[in-house]
C-alpha cells in the first residue's frame, strides 16, 4: 500500500553518519523516503570490505568524503569527495581499496526495501 510522503523532509549528514556507523552494516536507509525514491547514508571505514550484492533498484552514490576505488561490472573507477556514480539495477558493484573513511549518500529509485 502506498503512503503519501511529507511535502518536505530533511536530515543532517553528521547525524546520519553517526547512525550509519552504529549500524552493523554501516548503512541507514531512511534519511528521506517517498513512494518513488529513498535516500540513505553508507559509511565504510578505511580498509573495510564492501560485501554488497546487486540490487533490484537503480542507485546513485554521492561521495561526501573519503577515497576508494569502485568496481562496476568489472571496470574500476577512482572515488573521492564530490564523485557522483550511477549504477543500474542488477549491476554487480562494490567499493574496494578504501584508503580513507568513505561517506556516501545513496539515492534509490524505486525505494530500496531491506
What average pLDDT values come out for the chain (114 residues) when binned by 10 residues? Answer: 75 96 95 93 97 95 98 97 98 98 97 82
Work out the angle at residue 55's Cα, subtended by the Cα atoms of residues 49 and 56, and round it to the nearest 5 degrees: 175
CB-CB contact of 52 with 68 (8 Å): no
CB-CB contact of 29 with 38 (8 Å): yes
Out of 3.40.640.10, 3.40.50.1970, 3.40.50.460, 2.60.120.10, which CATH number does the structure's domain 29-109 have? 2.60.120.10
Q: What is the pLDDT of residue 3?
A: 61
Confidence (pTM): 0.92
Residue 22, φ and ψ in degrees, nearest 5: -80, -15
Q: What is the pLDDT of residue 47?
A: 98
Structural domain boundaries in the chain: 29-109
Amino acid at each position: 500500500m502506498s503512503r503519501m510522503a511529507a511535502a518536505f523532509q530533511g536530515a543532517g549528514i553528521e547525524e546520519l553518519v553517526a547512525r550509519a556507523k552504529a549500524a552493523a552494516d554501516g548503512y541507514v536507509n531512511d534519511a528521506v523516503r517517498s513512494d518513488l525514491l529513498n535516500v540513505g547514508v553508507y559509511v565504510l571505514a578505511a580498509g573495510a570490505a564492501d560485501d554488497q550484492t546487486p540490487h533490484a533498484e537503480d542507485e546513485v552514490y554521492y561521495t561526501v568524503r573519503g577515497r576508494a576505488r569502485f568496481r562496476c561490472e568489472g571496470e574500476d573507477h577512482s572515488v573521492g569527495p564530490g564523485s557522483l556514480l550511477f549504477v543500474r539495477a542488477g549491476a554487480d558493484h562494490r567499493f574496494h581499496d578504501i584508503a580513507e573513511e568513505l561517506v556516501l549518500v545513496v539515492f534509490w529509485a524505486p525505494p530500496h526495501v531491506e
